[in-house]
Amino acid sequence: MTTTSAPREPIVLGIESSCDETGIGIVAGRRLLTNTVSTSMDEHARFGGVIPEIASRAHLEAMIPALDAALDEAGVGMDEVDAIAVTSGPGLSGALMVGVSAAKALAVATGKPLYAVNHLVAHVGVGLLEDSASAAGDTESEASLLSGLGALLVSGGHTEILKVSDISGDVTLLGSTLDDAAGEAYDKVARVLGLSYPGGPAIDRAAASGDPRAFTFPRGLTAAKYMGTVQDPGSHRYDFSFSGLKTAVARVVEGLEAHDEPVPVADIAASFQEAVADVVTSKAMLACTENGIDTLLLGGGVAANSRLRQLVSKRCSEHGIRLVVPKLSLCTDNGAMVAALGARLVQSGVAPSGLDFTADPSLPVTTVSIGS
Amino acid sequence: MLILGCDTSSIASGALVRVPVVDGAPDAGHLEVLGSFRTQDTRSHAEAMAPGVRDLLETAGIRGQDLDLILTGVGPGPFTGLRAGIMTARALGWAWKVPVRGVVSLDAVAEGSFHDAASAGHTVFGVATDARRREVYSAVYRLADDATGATGYTRAHGPVVGPAGDLEPQIPMAGRGAELYADVLTPVSGHDQDEPLAELLVASALRTGLDATLESTSPLYLRESDARVPADRKKATR
């Protein structure tokens, strides 16, 4: 490539393999060129949850075809790519290792700089892309997205509230789940109710005809001792717990079955969904208002949930918080988000990660990218 | 002819091999190892492979595009590490537009031990590597017994996975499995700590003939994932 007088937007190829999605995304600065995702979800269905070894095997076989498809769709060659970005954590160890190995090999083969990035921060980074917002949302200007930014990430692997002071280097974890992720609770409750996998859409569908007030299910970690006050916060003011909720649903179902009574699936699904959406959004609102967050990005696969979207939208507008919800294809795990964060790091002059880094299943959110 | 070899079925290793081509065929008897690397441990495959290959090429002054072939060990071996090497080889081959083919990793251990097995008067020997869970990955090789003495070996059985105790105790075994299960296995003398090495993997492939290498570079897992379909949901109440 010859250098041009005006600096062009960096073209970045992003690789994601932290769970059951093999994603390759390519961006030019804030412009999305392609987002190719191959999922092994169907192979996990009969187990009722993601099996790490099955996911890892699928990543290995999907990676090269996904690369071919991505370059083809984007209409760019590897020689035009300025940098490579890869999710190095958090996620499933064996799954991460496949993407990391592919990315390092591509970096060696092409001589391009490689950025090892944080999966959770990448979920936020996708909001920086032009036209990333869903049809209902506003198209945010980059500048407005970057001040007072927070993120609520809800998926099968994560339930977190982040404060994003600087997406290229200053992110703090305000709250997270102590046990199951919200999406995991959906999967387990779907199983108890005899619904299909993945549980999110199945429960959402069943809940549509149910009464969300039929059962009162617990909102985890909302007792005063955990919440405390603004001045004197408790130990888990912004944290979540869904294992008690899951058990509460199981007890109701088993109690009914023990007495040979019919299980009101729709009512239980609606009441469970209400409990999740209520606790997630109320804690998110607390975290936003108490930490100067006036723009909230919703990410993760559970962002597809109708009740969560409805309630977070309602509560954000009540609190004067601007809500940004990327298109669903950009909310679930994908390579475009990795590429988008990578492009931001390139443009911010952050040093690449080199080749010696390790995949880190529990990479803290404070590590946006791994330094060389 | 330039060949890059990779193997991560136990430790991680890589090698750059040059072999003269005579009458259109590589002359396996005159291969030259231009460089190689190996890890000491069996847990840093995803860290070691890419920088290892980069340094190999830089030191030799060779561009990746100049390679004629990449050979990767396809195991059997512990899954996560094995995938790291295969993914590396596939991605390098993809980016350089160089073909990638697979070789059974146990053959690399056979390559390193068959001379001594023959010298010791054996006609058959085996390779056993650590499969964890108190099992070994193994294969049995028959030594060529032509008039000139042992010039090679062919894999007669395997690769398979199972307890070392299920193997024929009288067949001498090379590889770490022989050391780990010395109570039930007889070693090929001096070879009970041998690891599969990339340079031996390439040498083995050349000895057997590159046409016999595997078109598929999918791992030889030999075991399913441990996942069980849940039979009945666990009761929250008792």
Asked, for residue A144, whether it belongs to a domain, the answer is no
Asked, for residue A148, whether it belongs to a domain, the answer is no
CA-wise closest residue to A130 among A332, A367, A288, A343: A343
Q: Is A57 on the interface with B (CB under 8 A)?
A: yes
Asked, for residue B232, whether it belongs to a domain, the answer is no
Structure tokens at A51: 């099996």
Interface size, chain A vs chain B, as Cβ–Cβ contacts under 8 Å:
122
| Nearest Cα residue in chain B from A61 | B218
The answer to whether A162 and A361 have CB atoms below 8 angstroms apart is no
Same domain as A348, residue A229:
no
Same domain as A334, residue A290:
no
Same domain as B111, residue B84:
no
Same domain as A265, residue A247:
yes
Same domain as B50, residue B33:
yes
Owning domain of residue A12:
1-132+328-372
DSSP, residue by residue, A91-154:
S-HHHHHHHHHHHHHHHHHH---EEEEEHHHHHHHGGGSTT-B-TTS----HHHHTSSEEEEEE
Same domain as B157, residue B95:
no
Which residue of B53, B87, B227 is in closest CB contact with A53?
A: B227
Query: Are B225 and A51 an interchain contact pair (Cβ–Cβ within 8 Å)?
Result: yes
Residues of A in contact with B46 (CB under 8 A): 97, 100-101, 104, 358-359
Same domain as B93, residue B11:
yes
Asked, for residue A52, whether it belongs to a domain, the answer is yes
Per-residue pLDDT of chain A in tens (372 residues, 90 and over written 9): 444 445 679 999 999 999 999 999 999 999 999 999 999 999 998 888 899 999 999 999 999 999 999 999 999 999 999 999 999 999 999 999 999 999 999 999 999 999 999 999 999 999 889 877 654 444 455 545 678 999 999 999 999 999 999 999 999 999 999 999 999 999 999 999 999 999 999 999 999 999 999 999 999 999 999 999 999 999 999 999 999 999 999 999 999 999 999 999 999 999 999 999 999 999 999 999 999 999 999 999 899 999 999 999 999 999 999 999 999 999 999 999 999 999 999 999 999 999 999 999 999 999 999 986
Asked, for residue B173, whether it belongs to a domain, the answer is yes
Same domain as B129, residue B97:
no
Asked, for residue A358, whether it belongs to a domain, the answer is yes
| Shortest alpha-carbon distance between residue A109 and chain B (Å) | 6
Spatial separation of the C-alpha atoms in residues B98 and A140, rounded to whole Å:
44
Same domain as B100, residue B110:
no
* CATH label of the domain that carries residue B53: 3.30.420.40
Residues of B in contact with A67 (CB under 8 A): 91, 94
Query: Are A105 and B50 an interchain contact pair (Cβ–Cβ within 8 Å)?
Result: yes
Same domain as B135, residue B97:
no
Residue A290: how many other CB atoms lie within 10 Å: 13
Interface test with B, best of A20, A46, A72, A108 (most B CBs within 10 A): A108
Domains held by chain A: number: 2
Same domain as A318, residue A342:
no
CA angle at residue A305 from A301 to A311, to 5 degrees?
A: 120
pTM for the whole structure: 0.94
Same domain as B72, residue B161:
no
Asked, for residue B147, whether it belongs to a domain, the answer is yes
| Cβ within 8 Å of residue A169, ≥6 positions away | A348, A350, A368, A369
Which residue of B80, B87, B233 is in closest CB contact with A191?
A: B233
| Nearest Cα residue in chain A from B225 | A53
From residue A270, how far is each of A132, A213, A246, A305 by CA, in Å?
30, 8, 14, 12
Same domain as A336, residue A301:
no
Asked, for residue B231, whether it belongs to a domain, the answer is no
| Cβ within 8 Å of residue A345, ≥6 positions away | A85, A115, A117, A168, A368, A369
Same domain as A349, residue A307:
no
Same domain as B115, residue B99:
no
Asked, for residue B230, whether it belongs to a domain, the answer is no
Say if residue A32 is exposed, middle or buried (CB neighbours under 10 Å; 0-12, 13-18, 19+): buried
DSSP, residue by residue, B145-167:
-BTTB---EEEEEEEEEE-GGGS
Q: What is the pLDDT of residue A7?
A: 63
Please state the φ and ψ torsions of residue A236, each to the nearest 5 degrees.
-135, 45
Same domain as A353, residue A277:
no
* CATH label of the domain that carries residue A103: 3.30.420.40
Asked, for residue B148, whether it belongs to a domain, the answer is yes
Last residue within a domain, chosen from A308, A325, A342: A325
CA-wise closest residue to B126 among B184, B57, B69: B184
Same domain as A344, residue A310:
no
Asked, for residue A340, whether it belongs to a domain, the answer is yes
| Nearest Cα residue in chain A from B227 | A51
Q: Is B96 on the interface with A (CB under 8 A)?
A: yes
Q: Is A104 on the interface with B (CB under 8 A)?
A: yes
Same domain as B144, residue B56:
no
Spatial separation of the C-alpha atoms in residues B8 and B208, rounded to whole Å:
21
Same domain as A273, residue A308:
yes
| Shortest alpha-carbon distance between residue B221 and chain A (Å) | 10
**pLDDT tens-digit map of B29-61:** 899 999 999 999 998 999 999 999 999 999 999
Asked, for residue A158, whether it belongs to a domain, the answer is no
Asked, for residue A124, whether it belongs to a domain, the answer is yes
Same domain as A287, residue A343:
no
Q: Is B90 on the interface with A (CB under 8 A)?
A: yes
Same domain as A87, residue A190:
no
Same domain as B176, residue B206:
no
Partnered with residue B139 across adjacent β-strands are: B127
Same domain as B131, residue B31:
no
Query: Are A53 and B79 an interchain contact pair (Cβ–Cβ within 8 Å)?
Result: yes
Per-residue pLDDT of chain B in tens (238 residues, 90 and over written 9): 999 999 999 999 999 999 999 998 999 889 999 999 999 999 899 999 999 999 999 999 999 999 999 999 999 999 999 999 999 999 999 999 999 999 999 999 999 999 999 999 999 999 999 999 999 999 999 998 654 455 799 999 999 999 999 999 999 999 999 999 999 999 999 999 999 999 999 999 999 999 999 999 999 999 988 887 776 666 666 5
Domains held by chain B: number: 2
| Helix or strand (DSSP H, E) at A31 | strand A31-39
Owning domain of residue B88:
2-104+196-212
Same domain as A335, residue A289:
no
Q: Half-sphere exposure of residue A164, counting CA atoms within 13 Å on the CB side?
A: 29
Residue A289: how many other CB atoms lie within 10 Å: 14
CA-wise closest residue to A248 among A222, A278, A268, A277: A268
Spatial separation of the C-alpha atoms in residues A286 and A305, rounded to whole Å:
21
Structure tokens at A124: 């936020």
Please state the φ and ψ torsions of residue B200, each to the nearest 5 degrees.
-75, -30
Q: What is the pLDDT of residue A131?
A: 76
